[in-house]
Structure formats: C-alpha cells, structure tokens
Amino acid sequence: MKIAHIAVWVKDLENIKNFYIKYFNCICNDKYVNEKKGFESYFLKFEDDCRLEIMTRKDIKERNTNDDMYGFAHISISVGSKEKVDSLTEELEKDGFKIASYPRTTGDGYYESVVLDSENNRIEITI
C-alpha cells in the first residue's frame, strides 16, 4: 500500500499553488471546480509522484488557535541535501516566510528546518 495523496484546506488556493510550484518544483493539474458546492482544488505533484491536494470552499472556517492540536502536524518534503535545506530555508525567509525552526540536526538524527506557508501550515524541509 501507499498513500495516494494528502489534502489540505486553504483560503487562497492560487497563492498556495504558486508557493508549492515556486519553492518545491511541483507540477499542477488543471483546477477542478464544482460550482454547486463552491469547491475548487488542485493536485500538486512532487518529483517522486507524491501528490498534495489543496482545496478551498466558501464555507470552510479558520481554526481559532495557533496551539498544537491533535491531527496532522506538518508535511515533510525531502530536498536531497543539507545544502539545499539551508539554501531553501534562507530563500523562504528572505521572501518573507516565517521560519518556525532553523536548520538543525534533531535528536533522532534528521537534518531539517520548519517553515510556515502564508496560511501557517507547517512544512518540514529535510534531506
């Protein structure tokens, strides 16, 4: 078995789509629109064929907290090298994105950083 895709609700579909295309080299399908339900989505495909579905709908509400909550905590994207973790983290910070955790080696041996996208979704950047 393998995960077919993971989906996330977003407010600004086009902005988030462009974020993943620019920084993570995703390939995007044509937008799916269901006018009756007010639903729109894109599938973003990473180099290894893993897919992220970004979705929006008029009636989705924001979370009222920035606290950690049960449920999915982040996605982790492998960029291939320590140098790429460093340079991408630096580029994202320069472009105004909040760095939640600067590049470091974790206690369990992973080299990673954590950045927040424009909607505060946590993205772990790792080797």
> How do residues 66-124 score in pLDDT, each as one tens digit?
677 777 889 999 999 999 999 999 999 999 999 999 999 999 999 999 999 999 999 99
- Nearest-10 Cα torsion for 13, 19, 25, 29: 10
In a domain, 64, yes or no: no
> How do residues 3-45 score in pLDDT, each as one tens digit?
999 999 999 999 999 999 999 999 999 999 999 999 999 999 9
CATH number of the domain bearing residue 37 = 3.10.180.10
User: Residues 92, 99: contact at Cβ < 8 Å?
Assistant: yes
Tokens of 12: 């600004």
Which residue range forms the structural domain that includes residue 121?
73-127
Q: 54 and 79 share a domain?
A: no
